């Protein structure tokens, strides 16, 4: 199990809430618009298994697990190459790796979950 507390991302959420409450416009980068948050307790059970394997350093079920995630889609905040690494979250009934992943950020120890193969990400919030 990952050790809380983890960072939380409120920048975009606060801006959207403020715009809704007092009016105005919201401008966000592609990364800010596509990164939400998810409570650790709301992750699928297979994500817990993946996070535990990450903490243990493996062994991982797929050879691609632990590979550098390039962030080619530009959805996550921009970082230097090698900052992000990806791991498979098994999908029950799938004969392939499926679309679900945990992407970790090395330096600030953040974990992102995607259920749609990098279209959107949710920062895992360990404090809720």
Domains of the chain: 11-125 (3.10.450.30)
Give the closest residue to 71 by CA, choosing from 57, 82, 62: 82
Give the closest residue to 14 by CA, choosing from 1, 26, 3: 26
Whether the predicted pLDDT of 62 surpasses 60: yes
Q: What is the mean pLDDT of residues 11-19?
A: 38
Whether the predicted pLDDT of 11 surpasses 50: no
Structure tokens at 74: 């530009």
H-state helical runs in the chain:
11-22, 30-34, 45-56
Q: Which pLDDT does position 109 carry in this prediction?
A: 72
Query: Hey, which residues does 121 pair with through a beta bridge?
Result: 35
Catalytic site positions: 86, 117
């Amino acid at each position: 199990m990952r050790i809380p507390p983890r960072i939380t991302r409120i920048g975009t959420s606060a801006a959207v809430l403020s715009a809704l409450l007092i009016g105005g416009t919201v401008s966000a980068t592609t990364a800010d618009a596509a990164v939400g948050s998810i409570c650790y307790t709301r992750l699928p059970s297979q994500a817990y298994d993946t996070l535990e394997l990450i903490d243990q350093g493996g062994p991982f079920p797929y050879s691609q697990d632990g590979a550098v995630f390039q962030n080619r889609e530009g959805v996550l905040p921009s970082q230097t190459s090698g900052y992000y690494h990806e791991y498979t979250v098994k999908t029950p009934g799938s004969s392939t790796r499926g679309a679900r992943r945990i992407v970790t950020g090395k330096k600030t120890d953040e974990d992102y979950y995607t259920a749609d193969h990098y279209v959107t990400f949710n920062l895992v919030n360990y404090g809720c």
